[in-house]
Structure 1
């Protein structure tokens, strides 16, 4: 053994310890927007810390306990010093106290006589205020319910995370929508349909005995946004989810979610009575079927007393439903609603339907549901996708929102990036959500926006809501691409208040997730607000749609034509020929345009007044048609494809400037993913321009990059494309969602 062995060993140990410490502090995205890192500005941190030195909570419910725990965790992390919660009655208050509770469980809150002010906030709203109790300046988080206190606690932490002043604090907030629900497309084998971040969160093999910390953190993440419901399984549902074996496991998840105000829902298979071997039919008007669902629903509530209800995909893409027995959607939904009604449960009935022989898939949902308006039970909510086709990068709004005036409706958005580059592309969906929610239908005059319809301001409906397909997985950062988190965040914020802008949500998320540095915020917010439009431009500009390769929905295949159904092809939608391009949905075509209120029928029906971003949704236009830019349609189409590529390059340049403002780990990951996105954007643009050129016969205008390969090269890429995700048989072309 040499003399230098021990010094070298010591040096090695120090280096290893240093490396391990560095790894343990690496930013991996697990905490999402609940990082609670110490406020970087020391003086600001001290100012906050002096304002709040203790938390007082007089109630003792599980929900109040998690609210207090979250405040301890959040404030302690942000202030970089412990802030403890005192439980139970408090005789005297110290300076710098935060009091949380309701008038019923907190004598201190009751002493403020807030009943009238709280009465307008409902069961989930809250009041944040700086006030005086017993001659002491205090902060309060008050609500009518413990879950309202929890939501207020997260809002209070958000104010500090985003470095807002607390000096004149006086905020009231209440949700505009009743049901704020996330949908998972998780299969029982843990493979997630359209999931791009690993396997399902739900480890059925260890439930109900082991409840992973990840389940609690999942609940915290959702509760921080005011999300109050989760549907944990795929809408292409496995009947076994209603078996006792799985209900025991699901009940364990419900126990974790309950203190966070989150109700658990299940997607069900309409043929369950047959799948269980109990009946030879699932006819909703057969008394035996109704009895079966009553008994099974009773069993569900025995396991989960606060169970929320069922989500149903019926008679869509091969899924069973009431039409198999010559019944309609109302017959099917109402039978389930009757089984749930005694327990206060609801049915979310998806409106994503389109028959195999339909002339225009755009018309499908309206043609099947319009005649049923007013025939659904009061505890049925029609869950309608934002557009009439299928979560495309841009769609006009689904006509059902302005047509179903006597039916409860809720919006269905998609956060998981099925059509936006999976977990490899940066595509903030907040701008899509805002565009959809602020669309004016004019059904009852100006101001009849989708958001106001959902809120119940336009039509008188009992239930309101919004849902999003989120599909997080076992990836450490939950969503694969770090910026997919931002779309989850934006959905939750807009489900609480549909008037919140995409820009506001983006800035909040950036400050909480990365940094409060103003240079970082402005530059990265620019990337986010640009990203969705970039995705539209390099995929399907000017109202083109569904140009994807089938099954995976990742890359371009505008030439796709050889599918079992015409509406599973790309050529069905773009209809390109030598004469022009686009789907005629005016009176001379499918007349789908008549499904809209008169104001929009006129606007969309005239090629001169239709918004150009929707033009090819409604019109067949010649290649020489003059656009607002002065360019021909062909030149404008080429311009948009190239613009999309350049927008991604702008995003790359902006991100490169953020190196010094955030952690190296996430900076490097996003940088690499943006390189992949640029590569894919070029492939999209070249593929589509070269393909459509075979019809237009026109050259690519001077000044644009010429494609590096011919069309056959890109067709070969589509046939051999590597899709970096596990796919379940349910994700074949037969089941597309």
Structure 2
């Protein structure tokens, strides 16, 4: 053998013997990373994490056991065996009283937990120490398995466990705004996950990982298609594809739902009307529901957007929202289905303040909906703005179940590139006091049914998921998916606790890593409000794609598509008067709330310009004029992003390089765009206010014409 050949052989031998480099993390594993715990924790956990015992088998029990096997193998470096009986210390017994004779013999207090709750307890079985995960229903076992793994991921003791939990809300749904061509409306994470062309024959393995991630945070339903619905989703070929997804998700406790186009009887049914009181139309929907349930026996029901933004609805035929919803509810009721009817409505012909319209249309219909109809209400009355006061419908319809709709995808909050944790935003709304029926009745208590004893309770989140490798378009946007699921399970949870939980599961348990990440997250929402829409401003975004600032836009077809409609700035002042002297939208709230929002002296500065048109020299609570306060807040938002950049840069030694670089790059985008927002908005508002910049604050780098000339026609999500 020649010398070069010998050298090459030795090189290949050394390469083969070298330890393999750890694969670069790309975010695919989400918060289910299952990386090995530290040595001292290994010693604490291994004695309590032995064989996984399942005395019964089913797809859901097998999924729960498989997750425990996967998680424990990654976290503890062991390969726990599956067993049919507790045969040694450290076993994890997984079962319901129906599936496991041992669980039944333990006589555990499962009755209060419902079908989805779970109990995790350290027990002694025939003299052996074990951990039992028990539930009344099999999905509870799955949630319990994920809870046990979460305890280990966040380094909590598991040697003396005695905990139980159950969801506060029955239907915890993702709403996918996915189209049949795989585009995603307001999606910033690539194409839709659902590859309709290849379904039903080919089921992407990623569908299982999607289901695992959702089950891990308690999500139990998914609406597969856009609320701006295409009726073709209800045709037989597509229903076979939907059934394939339902089959994949079922072991993980997830039911599928569909957005239904209201005029489907005309679009695909050959009828000349979609009038909900026409017997032919009612018969068509009953037959369609029967067809769906034959194919998908546990189909969840329909989500409907009607008579809003050009979508067809019952008002096209002189009928009410209740008429339309009840027709569909009648069709799915024999099968146990529900209808979620969106309250996001506004009419071009109706001159009423857009913030008033949903209340005006729906509140008079309270008590007129069938008992399997839920009215789905956005968190605020406009449209997922960076900050809105809670929607006045919450608490105002005690005879009609109200669902809360949140937007996980950040349509008005910097898309996927801005680091904005939404847990604090949602907590603010959920904790708001509606004063209906009495003081202390929060929005959370309305939607979980405790305030009005609703038969059905729902929380819906507009998904931020796509086929990007990291699922959500950025690493930190995963936190919003996670936070949504945790709050849907329990809307009383704290945003900070959720952020810390996610940070530990996603980045690691080093306190020097977790603390600054949580600090960044907790301040991020206020930062984006400051550099986009401070003091209660809203809808200042550019046309169509909502990317970048456009506070000057005033030439759109609809008055209430124009940012100038919402801020109403002129030479005298700024803000939308929603008091009794203006649109009186404030009167839609309970008297106690209206007294605060309607009083300039009492309204929080965060909502000042939402409810009041004030002079530029009006004094805010800081003592500064409105003009000076706008400058301060816009500038503060930019500085907050720069502070996040510094915090993140300091974490480089503690974060894997690939993910650290991605977040760093996105923070650079965010800093540049936050500066753009600040400068464009302030130079525009200064053109009206004619006030100088306060001392210490530099004016924008360019004149107003420069910012007005910026065009971004290919921004995502258009």
TM-score bin (small chain):
over 0.9
| Secondary structure class of the residue paired with 1:402 | coil
Corresponding residue of 1:202 = 194
* 2:395–2:434 CA contact under 8 A, matched in 1: yes
Q: Which residue of 1 aligns with 2:666?
A: 673
Alignment equivalent of 1:56, drawn from 38, 53, 60: 53
Asked if 1 retains the 8 angstrom alpha-carbon contact of 2:171 and 2:459, the reply is yes
Deviations 1:594-629 (A, max 9, x none): 000000111111000001100111001111111111
Structure 1: gaps of 5 or more residues: 732-737
2:541–2:548 contact (8 Å) kept in structure 1: yes
Q: Following the alignment from structure 1 to structure 2, what is the Cα–Cα distance between the partners of residues 241 and 698?
A: 55
Contact 1:192 1:471 in 2 (8 A): no
1:131 aligns with 2:128: no
Asked whether 1:4 is paired with 2:4, we answer: yes
Equivalent residue number for residue 169 of structure 2 = 177
Cα separation, 1, equivalents of 2:406 and 2:254: 19
- Measured at CA, do residues 572 and 15 of structure 1 come closer, stay the same or move farther in structure 2, by a change above 3 Å? farther
Post-superposition shift, 1:7? 2.7
Matched, 1:639 2:632: yes
1:104 aligns with 2:102: no
Distance 1:566 1:600 in 2: 28
Q: Which residue of 2 aligns with 1:563?
A: 556
**What SS class does the counterpart of residue 655 from structure 2 fall into?**
coil
Counterpart for residue 466 of structure 1: 459
2:155 aligned with 1:157: no
Contact 1:102 1:143 (C-alpha < 8 Å) held by counterparts: yes
**Correspondence for 1:619:** 612
Equivalence map 1:489-638=2 (5 Å): 489-638=482-631
Greater Cα offset, 3-12 or 564-573: 3-12
Stretch moving more, 556-565 or 96-105: 96-105
State TM-score, norm by structure 1.
Answer: 0.95
Q: Map of 1:59-138 to 2, 5 A cutoff?
A: 59-86=56-83, 88=84, 90=85, 92-114=86-108, 117-138=109-130
| Corresponding position of 1:457 | 450
Moved over 6 A (4+): 12-19
C-alpha contact (below 8 Å) 1:561/1:569 kept by paired residues: yes
8 Å Cα contact 1:183-1:471 kept in structure 2: no
Helix, strand or coil for the counterpart of 2:339? strand
Q: 1:653 to 1:289 in 2, by over 3 A?
A: same
CA contact (8 A) 1:585 1:618 kept: yes
Q: Does 1:721 align with 2:715?
A: no
Q: Distance in 2 between matches of 1:35 and 1:67?
A: 16
CA contact (8 A) 1:186 1:471 kept: no
Q: Which runs of 5+ in 2 are unaligned?
A: none
Q: Using the TM superposition, give the Cα deviation of residue 457 of structure 1 relative to its aligned residue in structure 2, in angstroms.
A: 1.5
CA positional deviation for 1:403: 1.1
Partner of 1:27: 25
Shift of 1:495: 0.5
- Superposition deviation, residue 205 in structure 1: 1.5
TM-aligned CA deviation for residue 15 of structure 1: 6.9
Range moving further from structure 2, 315-324 or 706-715: 706-715
Following the alignment from structure 1 to structure 2, what is the Cα–Cα distance between the partners of residues 436 and 18?
54
Q: Deviations over 1:614-658 (max 9, x none)?
A: 011100111111111111111011100000000001111111111
1:378 to 371, 391, 399: 371
CA–CA separation in structure 1 for the residues paired with 2:17 and 2:357: 62
In the TM superposition, residue 93 of structure 1 has moved relative to its aligned partner by: 2.5
Query: Which of 345, 361, 365 pairs up with 2:358?
Result: 365
CA distance in 2, matches of 1:529, 1:448: 25
1:276 equivalenced with 2:273 (yes/no): no
Alpha carbons of structure 1 residues 78 and 286: separation in structure 2 relative to 1, 3 Å: same
| CA positional deviation for 1:359 | 2.6
* 2:238 aligned residue: 246
Q: Is the 8 A contact 2:395 2:437 kept in 1?
A: no
RMSD: 1.6
Match of 2:42 among 40, 45, 66: 45
CA change 1:679–1:9 in 2 (3 A) is farther
Q: Partners of 2:300 and 2:615 in 1: how far apart?
A: 51
More off after superposition, 441-450 vs 152-161: 441-450
Distance 1:617 1:148 in 2: 43
The question of 1:652 aligning with 2:649 is answered no
Distance 2:298 2:699 in 1: 60
Q: 1:597 to 1:103 in 2, by over 3 A?
A: same
Once the two structures are TM-superposed, the CA of residue 56 in structure 1 deviates from its matched residue by: 0.6
The answer to whether the aligner puts 1:285 opposite 2:283 as a matched pair is no
Offset at 1:442?
1.1
Aligned length: 717
**CA distance, structure 2, for counterparts of residue 11 and residue 527 of structure 1:** 46
